[in-house]
Amino acid sequence: MKQSRTRFFDTLKYQFLCCHPLHCINWEVIPTHLTWEQQQELIEKTVFHPLNQKQPIRISYQLNFLKRLIEQLERHCDEVHDIVYESYCSVQQRVAQDTTEKYAYKHYQQAALDISLTLRESKSFVAEGTTGLCSWQASIALADYLAHNTDIVNGKCVLELGAGTGFCGMILLQCSDVRHVLITDGSYECFELMKENVRRNFGDAETCDDGYVVKEKLLTMSVLEWGAVDEMIWPNSFSTDIILAADVVYDDTAFDSLVYAIDYVFKMKEDACEMLLAATVRNEYTLQKFLDLLSSWNFQYVDRNVTPVDKCYFYWDRTTPVKIYHIKRHS
Ligand SMILES: C[S@@+](CC[C@H](N)C(=O)[O-])C[C@H]1O[C@@H](n2cnc3c(N)ncnc32)[C@H](O)[C@@H]1O
């Protein structure tokens, strides 16, 4: 009983801190008849969590989370603790002042992997002319896949294209023995936010040219516009073994430049290179069009299974499926 309550509290804590969509949270497994002490513990692990106190997640999310929690507690407990209602009122008082705020924090925690990542992200999916100022479900699914399959990246140089906030690369740095992660994006705004988030999480680490050395692993950042990959100045001693890309296959006008960049990097390594592409399947036709284009450039791809929900380290919205492709090129 205590074990299942602790598991529920911890899951809810992780989901709250990374703003996991409320419709994806399994509220049905909430333990019934929580005592006042247990309700207080639940609030301390979520809204009163020190990370949220210091770097708050979206206020509107906190308010809706508490609304939903109160509904559940009123249904399943004899009495709801005052602290729950009080925290709702105090969050509500901050709503008006928060509406002008364009950014909020998300905290991605995973005790089993000793991972803790805090990102400042845009509250809108599209801002400053880019979709990359917030982390998308495909990058979370890809990071989870790699956290379960670290042998793919251990000892390797990893290049991430269209990295947005840099979430996937930063998780990789924490959970694997990767040699060098180079996170890139074509948008200058993304690059600036990525730099800020890297500094936020690894600012205490030793610095090197364009980045940091974290436990002997390198993390560097660069602007890389796919169509201008031939102008890229590569970091010293970096030679791509694996390319990563998440949620970059949605706009077919960008397909030619993306395949051009992939081909360019593969050619630099005489095809001794691999790629993992995570795609959110919003439109099967668009995705297939990209896969067909890859085939026409002699790439081969294999579908890999995303981590099932009961085994995942991180949480993402699974309403729209994510597919992960392993891409190689054999002549
Ligand atoms: C939907 S976002 C995905 C961001 C991140 N990979 C994630 O999944 O959270 C797509 C990203 O691709 C980048 N992008 C789009 N076109 C690009 C191009 N031609 N060159 C480089 N990056 C590009 C955008 O700036 C944006 O960061």
For the chain, the domains span: 2-98, 123-328
Per-residue pLDDT, 285: 96
Per-residue pLDDT, 170: 96
Q: Which CATH architecture has domain 123-328?
A: 3-Layer(aba) Sandwich (3.40)
The rounded distance, in Å, linking the Cα atoms of 29 and 105 is: 27
DSSP for 254-281, please give it.
GHHHHHHHHHHHHHHTTT--EEEEEEE-
52-79 confidence digits (pLDDT tens): 999 999 999 999 999 999 999 999 988 9
Q: Does residue 34 line the site of ligand 1, with CB under 6 A?
A: no
Per-residue pLDDT, 26: 92
The alpha carbon of 164 and the centre of ligand 1 are apart by a number of angstroms equal to: 6
Per-residue pLDDT, 249: 97
The alpha carbon of 246 and the centre of ligand 1 are apart by a number of angstroms equal to: 8
The single residue listed with the structure tokens 């948008």 is 187
The alpha carbon of 245 and the centre of ligand 1 are apart by a number of angstroms equal to: 9
256-305 confidence digits (pLDDT tens): 999 999 999 999 999 999 999 999 999 999 999 999 999 999 999 999 99
The alpha carbon of 272 and the centre of ligand 1 are apart by a number of angstroms equal to: 25
Q: Does residue 186 line the site of ligand 1, with CB under 6 A?
A: yes
- Whether 106 and 116 have beta carbons less than 8 Å apart is answered as no
114-154 confidence digits (pLDDT tens): 999 999 998 777 666 667 788 899 999 999 999 999 999 99
Question: What's the average model confidence in pLDDT over 163-179?
Answer: 97
- Whether residue 211 is predicted with pLDDT greater than 80 in this model: the reply is yes
Pairing of strands 274-280, 242-246: parallel
Closest CA to 38 of 104, 83, 98, 96: 83
- Whether residue 105 is predicted with pLDDT greater than 80 in this model: the reply is yes
Question: What's the average model confidence in pLDDT over 39-58?
Answer: 96
Question: Which is the closest atom of ligand 1 to the Cα of 254?
Answer: 19
Per-residue pLDDT, 129: 66
- Whether residue 1 is predicted with pLDDT greater than 70 in this model: the reply is no
219-244 confidence digits (pLDDT tens): 999 999 999 999 999 999 899 999 99
Amino acid sitting at position 132: G
Per-residue pLDDT, 78: 85
Q: Bigger pLDDT: 134 or 249? A: 249
21-36 confidence digits (pLDDT tens): 999 999 988 888 899 9
Q: Is the pTM of the predicted complex or chain greater than 0.85?
A: yes
